[in-house]
Structure 1
Amino acid sequence: MLTGMALADLYNLLLFFVQILILVPNSGATVSAIIVFGDSTVDTGNNNYVPTIAKSNFPPYGRDFPGGLPTGRFCNGRLPPDFLSELAGLKPIIPAYLDPAYSISDFATGVCFASAATGYDNATADILRVIPLWKEVEYFRDYKKRLTDYLGIEKANEILREAIYIVSIGSNDFIENYYSLQMRRSEFTLEQYQDFLLGISENFFNQIYQLGARKISLTGLSPVGCLPAERTGNFMDSFNCNEEYNNAALEFNRKAKIFVAKLNTELPGIRVVYAEIYDFVSEIITKPSEFGFEVADIGCCATGTFETGFLCNTDNPFTCPDADKYVFWDSIHPSERTNKIVSVYLFKYLQSFL
C-alpha cells in the first residue's frame, strides 16, 4: 500500500506527465481559453468589486498565492480554474472579469465570471447580494462583444468555439438557501427544489450555447455535509458529516448526469461532460493521510470550525502555519493543495476536448 507521502508524490508525478502529454500534437483540437462560471469554488476575484461581505481580498487569504497576494480567491492559493488552465497549456492564473487590472487581451485566453456565495437560484445570490447566475451570463455576453471588437468576429467565434467552459455551482443553493435559512423549504420539497434548480440550469446552458459555448464541463457537487462548517453545526451527531446534506448532493448529482445526457442530444454540436468529484473528494476527506494530509475535519484558517470570509483574518491567532497539511483552508473552502489534487483528477474529464 502506498504511504501518504508516496501517494502525494504520485499525484505530483501525474501532474508532470499530464503537462508533458498536452504538448504532444493530437488530432488538431486546441483549447483557446478557459471560461468560468460558478461560485466561490471558482471565483478568482469578482466579488472584490461587488458590495457584499462575501469577500476574501485580505490576509491570510492568498498567503501562498504567487507574491502572497489576497486576490479574492477563497483559498490560501490558487483555485481549480487556475490549475486546469495551466494543465491545458494556457496561463496559470485565470483573471476575474470585473478586475480593472486586466484588459480584453488578457481575457482572450481565459476569464472568470463566477461569484462567491451565488447559486442557480436568484434567491441564493440575494442572501449576500452577490452576482446571480443570470448576471454572469450578461457579463459573458458583454465579453463576447468586447472580444469581437478586439479580434474580429471570425477569430472571436473561433475562441468561443474552442474554449473549455468550467461550470461549478449549486452547493450554496442547498447549504445556505434550502437548509440553513430555509428560504425555499416552504415552497418546495427537496426533490422539487432540485428539479427547480435543474430547470434554471437548462436555461443557463441554452443561453451560453447561443452565445457560442460548445465544450462545457459541469462539475458535480462534493460531499457538502463534510465541510468543517457543516460538521460544526452537526453537534448532535458528534460533529460527524451531515449525511442529510450529503444525500441531497448525491441525488442532485444523479439528476444532473441525466440532464447532461439530455443536453448532448438536444443541442447540435455541443459537448457537455459531467465531472463527477463526489467520491474522489469523499476519499480525500475520509482517508486524508493517503493523500499526504494530516487534518480533514477542520480548516487551517482561524479555528477552522466555522470561520470563512471576514472571520478568517490575521487577528485570529489559531491559523495553522502550513496549509498543505489541511484538506480545507477555511471552514468551507479547500486548501490550494487540495485544489491541485482535485484539478489533476478533473482534468481527465477535459481530455475529451483536446
Structure 2
Amino acid sequence: MAHSLERIIRKCFHQQTLRQTEESSGHGIWVCMAITRFGITQLEAPFVAMIYVARGQQDWFILDHVIANGTSHQKLHLNPDQFVVIIWIGTNDVGINSFVTDSQKSNISLADLAQCQINALRRMHSLGARQFILNSLIPLQITKLYSNSSDPVIYWPEEHDGPAWNKRMFNFVTTLNTLLKSGINNLNAEWKCSGTGGFVEYFDTYGFFEELYYNPNAYYNGSIPANVTSWCHKCPNPLDYHFCGIGDCTEDERDSYMWWDELHPSEQTGRNVAQEMFKKIHGTSRF
C-alpha cells in the first residue's frame, strides 16, 4: 500500500513540490497531500476513482496518531495542545467538472460543500483534536482558468464562456466562504455549550491572495519584476499536454510569479501562505 501510494504521489506532483515538502516537514509535523480531483467528497462526481479528502486524510491521521483499542473510545496519541488541524479544500469542488460547468449532481448544493468541511472538523474533534484552522477558498476568478477570457487552456481545451465562468466562480467562492464562516461560528458555539473544548479559527485565504495580487512587490522576489497575471509553467498547445514545459520560466525567475500554471499557485506563493499561516497559528495574522 505504501509503495502504491508513493507511486501515485510522484505521478501527481512535480519533483520540485515533493522536494520542498520533504524539506519543510520537520520533526513533529504531520504532512499529508490531497490526491484528488474533487477535494471534499465524491458526492458530486462519483465517477472519479480517486482518494478524497474528507475521509482519506482522516483515516491516515487515525493510522498515524490514534491508538486502536478495539472499542469506539480510541485514544489520541498526541497532546491536543501541541498541534493544529488545518483544512484547506474546496477549489475543485466548485470548478470544472463540477459547479462551474454544471456537472455536479442535481441534489448537491454549495451548502452541502460547506457542511462537508464542517463535518470534517467535527470528526477530527471527536478524535481528540482541539485546535483548528479552516481556510477559505481563494479568489479563483483571478486565475487564468476562471478569468473573463474564453481562450482554451490545458485544463479545459474545449469552448467555454469565459465571462460567465468568471461571474459564476466569484459567486460560488464568496457564497461558500460565507457559509463556512457561519458554520465555524455555529461549531464554536456548539463546542462551548457542550463543555468539550475546541476552537476553529477562520483563515481569510481569499483576502490574503488579494493582498498578494495587489501588492506583489512585497512578496515576489525573483530575477524579473513580480508577475501576478501570467504563470511559470507554460502549455502552448492546450490540445496536447506533450507541449507543456515549452517556454517555462527559468529557475531564477520562478519566485517572481504568483501562479505556477493557469490554476495553481506558485512555489513562492506557497511560501508566502506558509509564513502567514505561521502568524495565524501564533495569533499575529490580520487574515
Same fold (TM over 0.5): yes
Pick aligned residue for 1:317 from 246, 251, 272: 246
Q: Which runs of 5+ in 1 are unaligned?
A: 1-45, 63-69, 72-76, 83-91, 96-105
Cα 1:156–1:174 change in 2 (3 A) is same
Corresponding residue SS for 2:86: strand
1:187 aligns with 2:116: no
1:293-318, Cα deviation, whole Å (9 max, x unpaired): 532223201248969xx94x796321
| Partner of residue 61, structure 2 | 140
What is the distance in 1 between the residues matched to 2:105 and 2:124? 29
Cα 1:145–1:291 change in 2 (3 A) is closer
1:145-204, Cα deviation, whole Å (9 max, x unpaired): 4699xxxx988232x44211111001110013433552226334xxxx111112222321
TM-score with structure 2 setting the length: 0.74
Cα 1:205–1:238 change in 2 (3 A) is closer
1:33-88, Cα deviation, whole Å (9 max, x unpaired): xxxxxxxxxxxxx96444997x124xxx41xxxxxxx62xxxxx746xx8xxxxxx
Q: 1:285 Cα deviation (Å)? A: 2.5
Corresponding residue SS for 1:273: strand
Amino acid at match of 2:276: Y
Corresponding residue SS for 1:176: coil
| Partner of residue 245, structure 1 | 169
Cα 1:315–1:135 change in 2 (3 A) is closer
Amino acid at match of 1:129: A
Task: Give the aligned CA root-mean-square deviation in angstroms.
Answer: 3.7
Question: Does structure 1 conserve the Cα–Cα contact (< 8 Å) formed by 2:149 and 2:162?
Answer: no
Question: Does structure 1 conserve the Cα–Cα contact (< 8 Å) formed by 2:67 and 2:77?
Answer: no
| Partner of residue 12, structure 1 | none
Pick aligned residue for 2:82 from 162, 173, 189: 162
What is the distance in 2 between the residues matched to 1:51 and 1:157? 26
1:207 aligns with 2:123: yes
Pick aligned residue for 1:229 from 145, 164, 167: 145
What is the distance in 2 between the residues matched to 1:201 and 1:155? 21
1:218-266, Cα deviation, whole Å (9 max, x unpaired): 0110001222222385448888992320221111111111111111121
Cα 1:136–1:184 change in 2 (3 A) is same
Percent of aligned positions with the same letter in both sequences?
A: 20
Q: Quick check: 172-181 or 322-331, which moved more?
A: 172-181
Pick aligned residue for 1:219 from 119, 135, 148: 135
| Partner of residue 273, structure 2 | 342
Q: Which runs of 5+ in 2 are unaligned?
A: 152-159
Amino acid at match of 1:218: L
| Partner of residue 284, structure 1 | 212
Q: Which has the higher helix share?
A: 1
Question: Does structure 2 conserve the Cα–Cα contact (< 8 Å) formed by 1:119 and 1:173?
Answer: yes
1:18-29 maps to which residues of 2 (within 5 A)? none
| Partner of residue 201, structure 2 | 273
1:9-51, Cα deviation, whole Å (9 max, x unpaired): xxxxxxxxxxxxxxxxxxxxxxxxxxxxxxxxxxxxx964449
Amino acid at match of 1:120: I
1:302 aligns with 2:216: no
Q: How many residues align?
A: 258
Greater RCO, 1 or 2 (C-alpha within 8 Å, sep 6+): 1
What is the distance in 1 between the residues matched to 2:201 and 2:248? 37
What is the distance in 2 between the residues matched to 1:331 and 1:340? 19
1:173 aligns with 2:82: no
Amino acid at match of 1:135: G
Amino acid at match of 2:203: A
Corresponding residue SS for 1:217: strand
1:115 aligns with 2:43: no
What is the distance in 2 between the residues matched to 1:238 and 1:247? 14
Q: 1:113 Cα deviation (Å)? A: 5.2
Pick aligned residue for 1:257 from 137, 157, 181: 181
Question: Does structure 1 conserve the Cα–Cα contact (< 8 Å) formed by 2:44 and 2:105?
Answer: no
